[in-house]
A = this chain, B = another copy of it.
């Protein structure tokens, strides 16, 4: 390891996102990211495998946190309620990160390859969640369908959260989206 760089990982992520926004993802090099962050390329590669990973490293942490939170809910809870606890937990990751999340989303939407990667991450989250529910004793197809519902709520709630000027927390948007999904499927008002 080289000398210690205070918050090198966060500085690299911010520098990368700023450059992707300014010039586009394709046009940005790792050398430029390191320079903007005031660090070396070597330091970059100690933290990220490549420039795409800067955008998706958080997704893996998110999936892990979601799965762990759902697994920790008492088994007496209904599967969808366990998923709701998981969504509440992951919403905490986004506190004070709305500008970052917005900028990241804009970069992803501008690049077909990154959009595909995002879809893969969401599919992976759904599969991991279904697996966690099955290990809680939930049968198929309920496990897969509940997991899909959880990821849909995450996706739609997230998009509403970054799309609004309101100051409410992401957890509120996720809870509202879950209530709206229940209402849409049952025909009752949320």
Contact = CB atoms under 8 A, between A and B. Distances in A.
A180 B149 contact: no
Interface of A: 78-80, 115-116, 119-120, 123, 140-142, 144-146, 148-149, 152-153, 155-157, 159-160, 176-177, 180-187
Copies in the complex: 2
Contacts of A182: 185-186
A160 B123 CA distance: 17
Contacts of A186: 182, 185-186
A153 B160 contact: no
B119 A184 contact: no
A182 B182 CA distance: 8
A180 B138 CA distance: 12
